Structure 1
C-alpha cells in the first residue's frame, strides 16, 4: 500500500475511518500491611482523581485537534474514577506533513485537525492481593477518532502523564473511506509498529514485545520496565529498613507480579 503523501489523496466526503487507541498502564507497589495498602490507594485516588484525569483527557483532545462537546466524570467509592469526553471536529486547517509520520506526537502542543464522531475515556482500577503485599493501580484509556489524524499522536503525552511499570497498547483501524473514484481505503496512513510513536528515550527504559496483524490493521505493543529498584516499589520507606531475606522475598514477589501482568498468565509457583 502506497498512500504517501496521504494528504494529497482527495476523499469522497468525510474520512469515515475509525481509529482506536487503547492505552493500558500498571503501577505496582509493595504494601506490607492493611494500613499501607489503604494509604497507597488513598494516594492513588488523590493523584489520579476525576479532575486530574479530566485535565489529561482535555490535553489529549487538544493534541488530536478535537472540540470537547461534553464531559462526564465520577470518583467512585471506595476507590477509582472514570471520565468520558465526547468530542467533535475542531477548526479545519492545512494538515501538516508530520501528522502522518510514524513518530511521537507532541508533549503537548495544540494540533488542530479535522475530527468528528469521537470520544475519549479513562477508567482507573486500584487493586490489591487478598493476602496483602501487592497493590496495583491500573488505568485504561481509549481514544477513538474519525478524521485526518491518528490518535497515536496522543500516545507520547499519555505515557508521560502516568508513572507506569507496564504498558499494554493496542491500535486498530476499522471501516473504510473512499477516494473520489470510489476506491475503498481501509487505512489512510502507513504504520509498521506502535513503537514508532514512542520516543527513543522512553523505549530504552522498557522491554518491548509486538504482536501485529498487518492485513487486519491490528497493532499491539507491550512494555515492561527494564531496571528494577526495590525502593521504587516500597510505599513510605526504603529497603534499608528491611533485612536481606525480606528484600529477596519482596523482590521476587514484585518481579513475579510484573511478569504475570506483562505476559498475561499466571506463573507456576506464585
Structure 2
C-alpha cells in the first residue's frame, strides 16, 4: 500500500526508507594529439574542480532541504576530483504536499524535506583512448536520503549543471518503514518512471530507454543526445579545419563511442 498526494499514512516512528539517486553523466570529445588530450584534461580539471563540485552538491542539499554537517573534497593529480557531503535532517516538520508528485524538481529552490543519516557524493573520471583520439569525462553523483520525499527532486538541477552527451540514472528505494498498526511499507510514494522527473524540453533532445523492476522498487533510465554536430566534439577547432574524409572518420569514432557507453557493450569495428 502506497500513499498518494491525497492520502497520507501516519507512520510509527521515523521514516526508515532509504532512497538513492545515482546520476552518471558522460562528455565525449575528440582529441587528436597528446597536446589536445592534455589541454582537454586541464580544461575538465578547471571546469569541474572540487570547489565547483562542492557548490553543486550544496545546491542539491538546499533543494532537498538538508543541512550540511561535513564536507570532504579533493582534487587529484593528474586528474579528477571527489566531494562528499554528510547531511542531516531539515528544519521543518511537514513535507510540502507537492513533494509527492512525479514532476521535475526546481532550479534550484522550492523543495524542503526531513533528512537524517544521509549523504551526497560526486566523483569525476577523465580518461582517453590510448590510440583513437577519444577522450571522455564521467561524473558520478549519488544522493542517498532517509525521509519522505525522493532525491529525484534534485535531478532536474543536476542535469542542468553539466553539458551532457549521455546520462545513466538509477533510483532505488531500500528498507521499510511501518504504519501505526505495524504494517510494513516498502515504498511511500508512487513512481512510474524516472522520466517523469525530467522536463519535457530535456526529454525532447535525448533518446531514452527505461529498464524498471517495479516489484523491487528499482528504476533505471538511460539518455543519449539526439543531435550531433561534429564541431561540438572537437577540442580547440571546428570541423571546417578537416577534410570531408576526416570529418566522416571522426564522426564514426565518436558515435561508436557514444553507442558503446549508451548500450553498455563494445561494438566491433566495421570492415
Q: What range describes the TM-score normalised by the shorter chain of this pair?
A: over 0.9
| Contact 2:2 2:189 (C-alpha < 8 Å) held by counterparts | no
| Contact 1:82 1:123 (C-alpha < 8 Å) held by counterparts | yes
Runs of 4+ in 1 over 3 A off after TM superposition: none
- CA distance in structure 2 between the aligned counterparts of 1:4 and 1:153, rounded to whole angstroms: 16
- CA distance in structure 1 between the aligned counterparts of 2:149 and 2:70, rounded to whole angstroms: 21
- Is there any run of 5+ residues in structure 1 with no aligned partner, and where? none
> Does the residue aligned with 1:123 lie in a helix, a strand or coil?
strand
The two structures have a TM-score, normalised by structure 2, of 0.98
> Does the residue aligned with 2:190 lie in a helix, a strand or coil?
coil
Q: CA deviation at 1:113?
A: 1.6
Counterparts of residues 51-200 of structure 1 (less than 5 Å) = 51-200=51-200
> Does the residue aligned with 2:35 lie in a helix, a strand or coil?
helix
> Does the residue aligned with 1:4 lie in a helix, a strand or coil?
coil
1:38-80 CA distance string (max 9 Å, x none): 0001000000000000000000001111000000000000000
| Contact 1:37 1:132 (C-alpha < 8 Å) held by counterparts | no
- Paired residues, number: 270
- CA distance in structure 2 between the aligned counterparts of 1:210 and 1:87, rounded to whole angstroms: 30
Q: CA deviation at 1:93?
A: 3.9
| Contact 2:5 2:101 (C-alpha < 8 Å) held by counterparts | no
- CA distance in structure 2 between the aligned counterparts of 1:158 and 1:167, rounded to whole angstroms: 11
The residue number in structure 2 matching 1:209 is 209
Counterparts of residues 211-226 of structure 1 (less than 5 Å) = 211-226=211-226
- CA distance in structure 2 between the aligned counterparts of 1:33 and 1:93, rounded to whole angstroms: 56
- CA distance in structure 2 between the aligned counterparts of 1:2 and 1:216, rounded to whole angstroms: 14
Pair 47,98 (structure 1): closer, same or farther in 2 beyond 3 Å: same
- CA distance in structure 2 between the aligned counterparts of 1:67 and 1:190, rounded to whole angstroms: 26
> Does the residue aligned with 1:43 lie in a helix, a strand or coil?
helix
- CA distance in structure 2 between the aligned counterparts of 1:6 and 1:115, rounded to whole angstroms: 22
> Does the residue aligned with 1:115 lie in a helix, a strand or coil?
coil
The two structures have a TM-score, normalised by structure 1, of 0.98
